[in-house]
Amino acid sequence: MKKLKCAVLGATGAAGQQFVEATKDHPWFETTGLYASERSAGKKYCDAASWIEEGEIPEYARDIVVKNVTEIEKDIQQYDVVLSALPSDLAKIVEEKCAKEKPVISTASAYRYDADVPVLVPEVNYGHIPLIEQQKKRGWKGFVVPGPNCTTVGLVVSLKPIIDEFGIKNVFMTSLQALSGAGYPGVPSLDILDNVIPFIGGEEGKVEKETLKILGKINSEGVENAPLKVSCTCTRVHVKDGHMETVFVETEKPCSAEGYKAAIAKFNEKCRKEFGDLPSYPKDAEAIVVKEEENRPQPKRDRSIGDGMSTIVGRIRSDQIFSNGIKYVVLSHNTKKGAAKGGMLGLEYLVKKGYVK
């Protein structure tokens, strides 16, 4: 197939760099336009971007001249799809301008909570995709599809087999979030060395709200939130990449450790059939990988399974507080599955289903 042309908005920032990396050598897409602030406009990308991703700036992007993101409207017809890594306040303005003409895949929270916008984690809620048809009522030819907060991703993927097979009443989660989730330059070293920070501004509210929407059901007015309660505590730890979470779930039906593993196997089979042909789907692993060792998962050892696109679950045990309950540890790569590569998987599925042409 002829590659679709992409513009990356916020290309010099951490999330934008992830899109630049994710489209390198992609069989379906190529990035041909890079946009950032006025300060970067007019410079070659190699001069404008302080590259923080592993390895070097992709060769294809080095000499692309960065343009001012506020002027994307002038060029919008050059592109088939827009990849947005803008701050949310700016995204609210610029993504709307782009969506009037083209599809927008976003890492920003600007439109996540709008009724006609799916917060897409394909393996969990691909059934929400028809919501984008409602966005035509805004007068848009395109649409906006954001991904969730990176902390939400591992949680909702791990909960999906449970809610499908056993139902869920309550979820209690404590996160141990990697430093890369704070962006660049991130948390000062003297704050995080030999320390855990037990607060991340706005994070807990986002996770609680997004989980209910993603696990909910689509209706004529948008998404009806899942009928469960979520309570979480989000912390920052001295780990480079990989968000780990301890999760306690009260289920509606009895759920044993073996029952959860069987539900995961069933979930993985569905995912292989629906997404296995997509370029960003893990080729050497499952959507959810279960670790049987008592001391796994671990960020250092497990975050790159499936090239960072698998969700890793371990320490699965019955819980004694709830009459029906399960507890486990989940790990998700926050800058891959939880960011640009997760967005690319969603985009690939939208192409497969004909929403992006």
Q: Predicted confidence band at 153 (pLDDT cuts at 50, 70, 90)? A: very high
Based on the residue annotation, tell me whether 150 is a catalytic residue of this protein: yes
218 phi and psi, to 5 degrees?
Answer: -75, 145
Q: Distance between CA atoms of 216 and 222, rounded to whole angstroms?
A: 10
- State the pLDDT at residue 325: 95
* Annotated active-site residue in 98, 234, 243, 333: 243
Q: Which helix (H) or strand (E) holds 14?
A: helix 14-22
Contact 321, 314 (CB under 8 A): no
Q: What pLDDT sits at residue 357?
A: 87
pLDDT digits (tens, 9 = 90+) for 178-223: 999 998 899 999 999 999 999 999 999 999 999 999 999 999 889 9
pLDDT of residue 221: 87
* pLDDT in the model for residue 220: 86
Task: Answer whether residue 42 shows pLDDT above 90.
Answer: yes
What secondary structure letter does DSSP report for 143? E
- Percentage of the chain with pLDDT > 70? 100
pLDDT for 87-137, tens place per residue?
999 999 999 999 999 999 999 999 999 999 999 999 999 999 999 999 999
243 is catalytic: yes
Short-list 267, 79, 75, 245, CA closest to 171? 245
pLDDT of 1 reads 73
Are 264 and 290 spatial neighbours (Cβ–Cβ below 8 Å)? yes
Catalytic residue (choose from 150, 232, 255, 271): 150
Strands 243-251 and 168-177: antiparallel
In the chain, the domains with their CATH numbers are 4-149+340-352 (3.40.50.720), 150-332 (3.30.360.10)
* Overall average pLDDT of the 214-240 stretch: 96
Per residue in 225-240, is it b (16+ CB within 10 Å) or e — as a string?
ebebebebebebbebe
Helix axis angle for 150-165 and 257-275, nearest 10°, is 110
* Helical residues (DSSP H) of the chain, grouped into ranges: 14-22, 45-48, 59-62, 72-75, 88-99, 122-125, 150-165, 189-192, 203-214, 257-275, 299-302, 340-352
Residues 112-121 have pLDDT tens digits of: 999 999 999 9
- The residue among 352, 353, 355, 354 whose CA lies nearest residue 278 is 352
Distance CA 100, CA 136 (A): 9
| 272 alpha-carbon distance from chain centroid | 19
Look-up of token digits 């030819």? 141
> Rounded to an integer, what distance in angstroms lies between the CA atom of residue 41 and that of residue 4?
24
Alpha-carbon dihedral 227, 232, 234, 235, rounded to 10 degrees: -150
First-last CA distance in the chain: 11
For 80-84, 208-212, 295-299, 319-323, which range has the lowest pLDDT when averaged over its residues?
319-323
Pair of tokens at residue 307: 């090239």
